[in-house]
Chains A and B, each alone.
Chain A
Amino acid sequence: MNFQINRRGLLKTAAAGAAFGALQPFNRAFAATDLVWMTWENLAKDDYLAAFLKGGDVSLTKNFIGTDDEQFAKLRAGGASSVDLITPGLDKVEYYVASDLLQPIDFAKVPNAALLYDTFKKTDLGKKDGKTYGIPFYWGINPIVYRADLMDGEPDWSVFFEGDKYKGKLAMRDYALEGIMIAALYLGIPKDKMFDMDDKELAEVKKALLAQKKLLRTYWNSIGDLTNLFASGEVVCAFSWVPPYYDLSARGLKMGMAKPKAGVIGWCDTIAVPKGVEGEKLDKVFSLVNYLLGPEYGEKLAFGGPYAQGTSAALDKLPDEQKEKIFVKDLSIMDSFVWKKNPARYNDWVALWNEVKAS
């Protein structure tokens, strides 16, 4: 029996899921205008959303996630019927669509989507059969962050693979997808081939990663932890997210942020609507989606994050300095990004990553 689990199938088989589902109609009957948004904590700050909620006909329940994987696992285990809006990564939307968890976006109800940057309009990610399931909602890059006071010059990807000047003072994120992408960038594997590497290329990647491991102080798992490692001087240079650069600069440390010419990993999160949300509630959900792509939210995010929105809605409201910070001053830079994508042989990537770490 070749049997693909979909949400309803799982609900039938898994007792926990069934119990979860059985409770749901009850909840909905009593809170018709309450929307449940599964999202990252930093995207749902009260002042970001105040303009949308002040009308009073919608209330919002925030359901914070720790990782994208956790969000997917929750939905797969039957949690889809308990949320109205989710925040999957652009590269992960494919998973949700394949698991039949999402409904297509009705662009008629989301006018701000017309303002999406071209890159996002053109990308295949988040789409299937011409329908969009996840709208690129906010994005950024994962650069190299370093202690400018403790390094001689701006590093590029090679600092993680060769020489031993900074041996034992480097850190890499413990994440197979990005770790292998960086090795591929270092090895000069073209962006369009990167996600379909063959055995030979993967073997080269593995060799490079084994060399990298000898140079590392540690792999990092949370951005707070990495910030701590930078601050204490245990690590001088890491493949990072942006926040430690701003946090530690604000605390008086001389930090640097490098965007290697070989390519920078760009990330993008989307908003997507689970299957089963319908009627008046669906309209409310789309009006929230429209707000999230609109100028009020975009401005708040640009200063509060600082992160760029998926649309150009707020662009006019931002001073150049702030545009620089969120990489939208010169939009052509987007072309040098490597957008994270789900590799065809992802399980092999994960296995390879674990082999390197366990070596």
Chain B
Amino acid sequence: MARSRTGFWLSVPVYAAVVALCVAPLLILLAYSFFQVSFVAVLKEPTLKNYVRIVGSDTYRWLILKAFGSGLMVAAITAVIGYPVAWFIAKRVVAAKSAFLTLLLVPLYTGDLVRIFAWRMLLGAEGVLNTFLMAFGAIREPIGALLFSSLATHIVLTYNYLPFMVLGLWLAFEALDDRLVEAAADLGAGAVSTFRRVTLPLTVPGLVAGSMMVFVMVVGDYLTPQLVGGASGITIISAINDLFGTAFDWPLGSAIAWTMLAILALAFAGAAIVINRSSLGKALAAGEA
């Protein structure tokens, strides 16, 4: 008894920190989402008007959809690229493993802006790629759509967040026992079948972890679309930013933020239920994979 009570008191600071740093700000945001704003005064009369506005607004609905769409797309692309990379580092590199991982992380050390401007130099109308293609006669006019386009946004987002996908997958591959792959071959499975029945299911936790990291970061990244996305570089996050800053409409900004949180929570809950019902999910939940 005495021991468990000590344990309780020792854990109090942890709970307090979680509440103060995570829960409280979100709850304040939630409270604001039900208020209204009149010039610079916040009217603290609970109302659902902000949520009605979001549901009724083509702009906000489209921006939210676009954010989640981009998140899913970049998660998918980084998964396809990152999967073989992670496999290679985990299973084929022996001596230089830490060197490879460091190399992978180097772009992260350079900072967002440096990376974005480097991509501008590469993709711009007078950039490296266009100059190169024109010098070899592959194109006559520079391809403008390489930069300041949705394409550019997704290229840079993929580049930015690929390391997180690779790290997630790399951990999963490190945990994957090579003998399981041998066992599958031993039992008659060819390379494709081994991948489908053994490697893929056992690296799904890494894929899920990597995808969630990439997804959340892509949804939250407004700088990249703003700086390389061109005239269509607006994101729901920069819209929220505008509402909090320029428009001084904290309630509507809070309501959009909470709408996104709620959709995300529902999506994750739905995914959790689906995974729980599948046999794979049961294995994952039991901590076996």
Interface residues of A (CB under 8 A from B): 1-5, 14-15, 67, 69-70, 72-73, 76, 95, 98-99, 168, 174-177, 213-214, 216-219, 221, 225, 228, 232-234, 346-347, 350-351, 353-355, 357-358
Q: Which of B17-69 contact A (CB under 8 A)?
A: 24, 28, 37, 39-45, 57-59, 62-63, 66
Give the shortest distance, in Å, between B119 (CB) and chain A (any CB): 12
- Cβ of A218 and Cβ of B233 under 8 Å apart? yes
Neighbour of B45 across the interface among A1, A14, A177, A351, CB < 8 A: A1
Neighbour of A168 across the interface among B41, B144, B239, CB < 8 A: B144
Q: Which of B213-266 contact A (CB under 8 A)?
A: 226-227, 229-234, 239, 242-249
Number of residues of chain B lying within 8 A (CB) of chain A: 43
Give the shortest distance, in Å, between B68 (CB) and chain A (any CB): 14
- Cβ of A232 and Cβ of B231 under 8 Å apart? no
Contact flags B103-145 to A (C-beta < 8 A → 1, else 0): 0000000000000010011001111000000000000000010
Q: Does B165 contact A (CB under 8 A)?
A: no
21 A-B pairs (CB sep. < 8 Å): A2-B44, A3-B42, A14-B28, A69-B245, A72-B248, A76-B40, A95-B40, A95-B248, A98-B40, A98-B41, A176-B242, A213-B231, A219-B231, A219-B233, A228-B117, A232-B120, A346-B247, A350-B247, A351-B59, A357-B231, A357-B232
Q: Does B169 contact A (CB under 8 A)?
A: no
- Cβ of A350 and Cβ of B227 under 8 Å apart? no
Interface residues of B (CB under 8 A from A): 24, 28, 37, 39-45, 57-59, 62-63, 66, 117, 120-121, 124-127, 144, 147-148, 226-227, 229-234, 239, 242-249
Whole-angstrom CA separation of A219 from B234 in the bound complex: 9
Whole-angstrom CA separation of A256 from B62 in the bound complex: 39
Tell whether A225 pairs with B227 under 8 Å between CB atoms, given A98-B40, A354-B239: yes
Tell whether A355 pairs with B44 under 8 Å between CB atoms, given A67-B245, A225-B227, A346-B247: no
Whole-angstrom CA separation of A67 from B248 in the bound complex: 13
Q: Which residues of A contact B246 (CB under 8 A)?
A: 69, 175-177, 350
Give the shortest distance, in Å, between B191 (CB) and chain A (any CB): 46
Neighbour of A218 across the interface among B57, B66, B231, CB < 8 A: B231
- Cβ of B242 and Cβ of A350 under 8 Å apart? yes
Q: Which residues of A contact B43 (CB under 8 A)?
A: 2-3
Whole-angstrom CA separation of A347 from B250 in the bound complex: 11
Q: Which residues of B contact A232 (CB under 8 A)?
A: 120-121, 124, 126-127
